[in-house]
């Protein structure tokens, strides 16, 4: 029964992330194709021209603002990636890292779990004593002091959790989701769903490690969190403080309801942003379809005033 409850609480926001990006991008990328596919009757093209010419004048500042926001988003995402990379390099620069060998508490356990080739031991102090790092080749890192302070079952819980991150390629998925949230920072719901996605990855990994027992896993989470000195990014950390309380409550069966991650304001502002994207995209698409060379609207009266031009075709 507890397994069913925990499974029901697990969030699956990946489809929402894709849907939000698609909703914002479809009119800007495929708008002209959709308009041409639908087709505009020749008799309506002149009226459409008048309407879209007016809308184009109104939307011109919005188009410039949208381009500015996109540029700012790309710039912010690039700077943030550089900052995160620099932080990771700085943390690893002073770290002594080695493969697991005989005599390590994790040696035989990692071989039994099939992650020995992806396991590294950090011999000195690090901000987070257990994490999975690597976008294209996920690798599990665990502090030497931590592996010697946990019980055998707690250590197995940590490795099972991190193995789930490796097999599901969670570091890559977290990096992709956070990159999209940074680029499209004007879409608040995307950032909220990114946080929900990261939380769901932790819940999913916890579910893979629950075979050792819920209390054992909860104890391991708390011990690793106590040993951690801060977030180690970019990485998927075992003791992610953002969802630490929720993870322990799920395991102890004290969580009463799944957390609400999207407020009404976030939903409304995101809906407005998507509506604006659709408005800008289809205004430009309709204007191109009505006024472009492919429309067949090579009218000899084009130099006339709009009202006179429209009268010539009545």
Contact call for residues 10 and 203 (beta carbons, < 8 A): yes
Question: What sign for the dihedral angle of Cα 59, 63, 68, 70?
Answer: positive
- DSSP-based three-state secondary structure for 170: helix
Q: Angle 105-135-84 (CA atoms, 0-180°, nearest 5)?
A: 95
Tell me the pairing of strands 139-143 and 130-133: antiparallel
pLDDT tens for the 314 residues of the chain, in order: 334 333 434 445 555 556 655 655 555 555 555 555 555 565 565 666 666 666 666 656 666 777 788 889 899 999 999 988 888 888 778 788 999 999 999 999 999 999 999 999 999 877 888 999 988 999 999 999 999 999 999 999 999 999 999 999 999 999 988 998 898 887 777 888 888 888 899 999 999 999 999 999 999 999 998 888 765 555 666 666 668 888 998 898 876 555 545 555 555 656 666 666 655 555 555 555 555 544 444 444 544 444 444 445 45
Sheet of 139-143, strand order: 97-99, 119-122, 139-143, 130-133, 236-237
CB 220 within 8 A of CB 228: no
Per this entry, what is the length of the chain? 314
- The radius of gyration of the chain's CA atoms, rounded to the nearest angstrom, is 27
Q: How many CB atoms lie within 10 A of CB 230?
A: 11
Q: What pLDDT, on the 0 to 100 scale, is given for residue 35?
A: 53
Helix (H) or strand (E) holding 192: helix 188-209
Residues 6+ apart with CB under 8 A from 156: 109, 113, 212
Residues 6+ apart with CB under 8 A from 275: none
Torsion of CA 241, 243, 246, 248, to 10 degrees: -50
The reported pLDDT for the residue numbered 232 is 57
List the one residue out of 97, 178, 108 whose CA is nearest residue 140: 97
| The predicted structure's pLDDT at residue 111 | 95
Parallel, antiparallel, or unpaired for β 119-122 and 139-143?
parallel
Instruction: Give the C-alpha separation, 83 to 233, whole Å.
Output: 10
**E-assigned strands of the chain?**
97-99, 119-122, 130-133, 139-143, 236-237
For residues 117 and 15, give the distance between their C-alpha atoms in angstroms, rounded to a whole number. Answer: 32
Q: What is the pLDDT of residue 188?
A: 78
Residue reference for tokens 């408005």: 279
Q: What was the pLDDT predicted at 46?
A: 62
């Amino acid at each position: 029964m507890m397994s069913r409850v925990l499974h029901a609480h697990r969030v699956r926001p990946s489809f929402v992330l894709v849907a939000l990006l698609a909703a914002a991008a479809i009119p800007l990328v495929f708008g002209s194709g959709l308009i041409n596919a639908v087709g505009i009757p020749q008799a309506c093209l002149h009226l459409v021209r008048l309407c879209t010419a007016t809308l184009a004048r109104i939307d011109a500042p919005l188009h410039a603002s949208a381009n500015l926001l996109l540029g700012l988003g790309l710039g912010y995402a690039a700077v943030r990636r550089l900052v995160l990379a620099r932080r990771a390099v700085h943390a690893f620069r002073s770290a002594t890292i080695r493969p697991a060998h005989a005599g390590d508490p994790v040696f035989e356990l990692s071989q039994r779990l099939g992650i020995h080739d992806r396991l590294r031991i950090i011999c000195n102090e690090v901000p987070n004593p257990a994490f999975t790092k690597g976008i294209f080749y996920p690798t599990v890192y665990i502090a030497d002091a931590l592996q010697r302070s946990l019980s055998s079952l707690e250590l197995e819980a940590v490795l099972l959790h991190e193995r789930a991150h490796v097999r599901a390629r969670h570091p890559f998925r977290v990096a992709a989701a956070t990159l999209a949230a940074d680029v499209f920072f004007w879409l608040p719901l995307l950032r909220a769903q990114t946080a929900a996605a990261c939380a769901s990855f932790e819940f999913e990994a916890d579910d893979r490690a629950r075979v050792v027992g819920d209390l054992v896993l909860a104890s391991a989470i708390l011990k690793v969190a106590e040993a951690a000195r801060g977030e180690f990014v970019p990485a998927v950390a075992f003791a992610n403080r953002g969802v630490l309380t929720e993870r322990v409550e799920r395991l102890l069966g004290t969580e009463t309801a799944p957390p609400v991650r999207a407020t009404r304001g976030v939903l409304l502002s995101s809906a407005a942003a998507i509506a604006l994207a659709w408005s800008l995209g289809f205004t430009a698409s309709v204007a191109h379809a009505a006024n472009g060379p492919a429309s067949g609207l090579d009218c000899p009266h084009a130099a006339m005033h709009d009202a006179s031009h429209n009268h010539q075709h009545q």
